[in-house]
Structure 1
Amino acid sequence: MDWHQIFATRNDGMKASEIRELLKLLDQPDIISFAGGIPDPDLFPAAAFQDAFSQALSADTQAAALQYSVSEGYGPLRDWIVKEMARLGIPCTRDNILITSGSQQALDYLGKLLLSPGDTALVGWPTYLGALGAFNAYEPRYDRLDPDTNRSAEDYAQAAGEGRVKFAYMSVDFANPTGKTLDGAMRERVIDLADALDIAVIEDAAYQSLRYEGEALAPVLAREIERKGNIDACRTLYCGSFSKTLAPGLRVGWVCGAQEVINQLVLLKQAADLHSSTINQMAIATVAEAQFDSHVAKIKSAYRARRDVMLAALAAKMPEGVTWTQPEGGMFIWLELPKHLNCADLLARSLQTERVAFVPGHAFFADGSGTNTMRLSFSRTDEKSIEEGIARLGRLITAAL
């Protein structure tokens, strides 16, 4: 049977994730991988989760842990998130929180909720590959979000053509893939632009807790609440996750936003998977309540050291003409090579000769540009391997030049 003839047209925009494919290389012991932006499993609070799951399965709570539950999410976990949001300057209630199966599910739901075919999503250039994958299924157009330029709302509206601009998506702290942070003035400009266009703002905060230096900046949603008085008057939707702080395998994230939007997302949740795993939510709530801050401090210390080693190695081993970002947190460093080099070709050569993996940067551009860029992740690799891997990569790039 020719299945393609009966697939929906939205499938034409769906592509395999280059990062998911590269993660398969982790099974090859001689590969030094800077490809997957994933936490180090040696830093997981495994013992705490073992106790938390045992507690969830005790006689008093096992029925709730193993039974169907409400779509909005486990109440005590939502209460913990409410307190965490307040610490970030985002006062809200349970009714402003929806638990999702990772923040990736939140992006899929928001794409489904907001995009009609031909509508425009404003995204970074480059932007998170997983966001493009989530939005592509809903057949949007993409335009470049430029909060640091004088591009007007009218310019964006005209570029949208017959469709309309629906939202601006961005990761404002230590963004995937660049590691860059949006400064306060640019965060304010995004709110101004969204108000002028009457669109939503999707604030991807997956790395917000992983700051290693510098002053913490108020989230976009916190800034909008300061302007408008309360969260239900705001257009910003904050997407959080426990994947980078506690454990990605449990797939627990959340959306925080105006209750009107949360209510609609709950309907999507009910149609898609009814609710996220209750026992996983219970375990996350227990561990977060007991040691979120202390555990985050532990992983920040480890990742900060690895970032510093990678930055020092890049300064020592990269040839002239290669530039890179200096992230204040997160998991990524972004390299830009001379224009005539193609990083997809370099990756193929690197895997053959140097046994070093990275992600070619074109995957993060909605138009496939940026062929001379690459993303390096330092979170999963020990310091000695980082030094060796960057030395090999510097040798490869020097030869290519």
Structure 2
Amino acid sequence: MDMTELFATRSSRMRASEIRELLKLLDQPDIVSFAGGIPDPALFPHEAFREAYGRVLSPGTSNQALQYQVSEGYRPLRQWLAAEMGKLGVACDESNIFITSGSQQGLDYLGKLFLSPGDTALVTWPTYLGALQAFNAYEPRYDRLTPVGGNTTPDAYRAAAAVNGGRVKFTYLVPDFANPTGKTLDEAARLGVLDLARDLDCAVIEDAAYRALRYEGRDVPPILALDCQRSGGIEATRTIYCGSFSKILAPGLRVGWICAAKPLVEKLVLAKQASDLHSPSINQMAILDVAERSYDTQVERLKTAYGARRDALLAALEAHMPAGVTWSRPEGGMFVWVTLPDGVDAAALLARSVSEARVAFVPGGAFHADGSGTNTMRLSFTLADERAVRDGIPRLGALLERTLG
């Protein structure tokens, strides 16, 4: 039997992640990889988690750790997160917090909740590939969100969405050290996104996965905090804040969260109940144990290590990239975005780079909803130690010299 004949039409929009495929290259020891946007496992708080799981599995708490959990998530963890959101200017309580199995699950639930086939999602060009994968299954149309310098009017967005048989349901963006560009929106641009969402009467999905990883410059308030200031409180906001422990503590535990108005959280709880009931109790309890004891210390540790790696990568690009190649200079996060001269196909270049230079990166076309941006690439510096930068960037630069002639 050909089971594919039974698949729903939306299955045709499901694509393999180029990044997940590229991670397989990490198993080849001679490959210098700037591809996977993943944290350095050497910096995980290993001992803290060993001790945390011991405490969680002690006689007084092991029953709760191994038992079913409410779908909203472990209440003490939600209370801790509500207090952390308060430090960012978002006054809320645990009923505004919803625990997800990684922030990726949150994006999937939001796509399921908001998107009917033909509806429009406004996303930046480029945007986080995982968000496109999460939303694709719900058959949206994408339109370009340009927070800085854009001139598309709300009426134009509405008209284009109506032609496709739907309406604009949300804007999605990574405002801090964006994946993949590394760029950060200033406060004026964030307020502009809120203005557009108000005029379109749509939601704003704020992906804050990298927010804590700032190496220089001043913090900018989250969009949700600005929305709270304007609207008078979280219950009147349209912004949905998606956070994650993956980049700071450990991605393998798959613990993320959403902070939003209660009616939205209540709908997400229903989606959770129909999906996996709840995120693992033991992991939520261990995350809380480590976060309460050492979250801020861990953030500072990562900022010191990753900030130095960012500086080394930027210096190497300056020294070895040929004329015509430009790149972003992020204030934080994990990524540098490289733009090649027009006509250079980064996907084709990757094949040559792996075979000739033994250097891996992520071609930029995958991050564009329309497949454009073929002359761009993303470099991740979180795993780029001194040897990787010293050996890899000169080899990549030499390959580009030969390519550009």
Conserved? CA contact 2:38–2:383, under 8 Å:
yes
Take 2:77 and 2:219, find their aligned partners in 1: how far apart are those partners?
24
Q: SS of the counterpart of 2:16?
A: coil
User: Corresponding residue for 2:384?
Assistant: 381
Conserved? CA contact 2:83–2:93, under 8 Å:
no
In the TM superposition, residue 343 of structure 1 has moved relative to its aligned partner by: 0.5
In the TM superposition, residue 63 of structure 1 has moved relative to its aligned partner by: 0.4
User: Corresponding residue for 2:340?
Assistant: 337
User: Corresponding residue for 2:153?
Assistant: 152
Q: SS of the counterpart of 1:89?
A: coil
After TM superposition, the score normalised by the length of structure 1 is 0.99
Take 1:334 and 1:86, find their aligned partners in 2: how far apart are those partners?
32
Take 2:75 and 2:29, find their aligned partners in 1: how far apart are those partners?
43
Take 2:389 and 2:63, find their aligned partners in 1: how far apart are those partners?
46
In the TM superposition, residue 44 of structure 1 has moved relative to its aligned partner by: 0.2
Task: Kindly tell me the number of residue pairs found equivalent between the two proteins.
Answer: 401
Take 1:381 and 1:46, find their aligned partners in 2: how far apart are those partners?
21
After TM superposition, the score normalised by the length of structure 2 is 0.98
User: Residue type of the partner of 1:208?
Assistant: R
The answer to whether residue 23 in structure 2 is matched with residue 20 in structure 1 is no
User: Corresponding residue for 1:105?
Assistant: 105
Q: SS of the counterpart of 2:307?
A: helix
User: Corresponding residue for 2:68?
Assistant: 68
1:215-264 deviation per Cα after TM superposition (whole angstroms, max 9, x unaligned) = 00000000010011110100000000000000000000000001000000
User: Residue type of the partner of 1:6?
Assistant: L
Take 1:245 and 1:147, find their aligned partners in 2: how far apart are those partners?
27
User: Corresponding residue for 1:398?
Assistant: 401
User: Corresponding residue for 1:48?
Assistant: 48
Take 1:172 and 1:206, find their aligned partners in 2: how far apart are those partners?
10
Take 2:139 and 2:359, find their aligned partners in 1: how far apart are those partners?
35
Take 1:17 and 1:29, find their aligned partners in 2: how far apart are those partners?
22
In the TM superposition, residue 183 of structure 1 has moved relative to its aligned partner by: 1.0
In the TM superposition, residue 329 of structure 1 has moved relative to its aligned partner by: 0.1
Q: How does 1:163-174 map to 2 (within 5 A)?
A: 163-174=166-177
1:17-74 deviation per Cα after TM superposition (whole angstroms, max 9, x unaligned) = 0000000111110000000000000000000000000001000000000000100001
The answer to whether residue 143 in structure 2 is matched with residue 143 in structure 1 is yes
Identity of aligned residues (%): 65
> Could you say what the CA RMSD is over the residues aligned between the two structures, in angstroms?
0.6
User: Corresponding residue for 1:347?
Assistant: 350
Q: SS of the counterpart of 1:246?
A: coil
Take 1:126 and 1:271, find their aligned partners in 2: how far apart are those partners?
32
- Which of 281, 285, 301 is 2:284 aligned to? 281
- Which of 175, 183, 187 is 1:184 aligned to? 187
Segments of 4+ in structure 1 off by > 6 A?
Answer: none
- Which of 296, 299, 303 is 1:296 aligned to? 299
Take 2:10 and 2:297, find their aligned partners in 1: how far apart are those partners?
44
Take 2:146 and 2:159, find their aligned partners in 1: how far apart are those partners?
15
Take 1:247 and 1:147, find their aligned partners in 2: how far apart are those partners?
31
- Which of 208, 230, 243 is 1:240 aligned to? 243
Q: SS of the counterpart of 2:35?
A: coil
Structure 2 stretches lacking a partner, 5+ long: none
Q: How does 1:262-277 map to 2 (within 5 A)?
A: 262-277=265-280
Take 1:395 and 1:270, find their aligned partners in 2: how far apart are those partners?
53
Q: SS of the counterpart of 2:143?
A: strand
Take 1:288 and 1:379, find their aligned partners in 2: how far apart are those partners?
21
1:308-355 deviation per Cα after TM superposition (whole angstroms, max 9, x unaligned) = 000000000000000000000000000000111100110000110110
Deviates more, 1:157-166 or 1:207-216: 157-166
Take 1:7 and 1:151, find their aligned partners in 2: how far apart are those partners?
37
User: Corresponding residue for 1:223?
Assistant: 226
The answer to whether residue 257 in structure 2 is matched with residue 261 in structure 1 is no
Take 2:285 and 2:384, find their aligned partners in 1: how far apart are those partners?
30
Deviates more, 1:142-151 or 1:56-65: 142-151
In the TM superposition, residue 388 of structure 1 has moved relative to its aligned partner by: 1.3
In the TM superposition, residue 150 of structure 1 has moved relative to its aligned partner by: 2.8
User: Residue type of the partner of 2:233?
Assistant: N
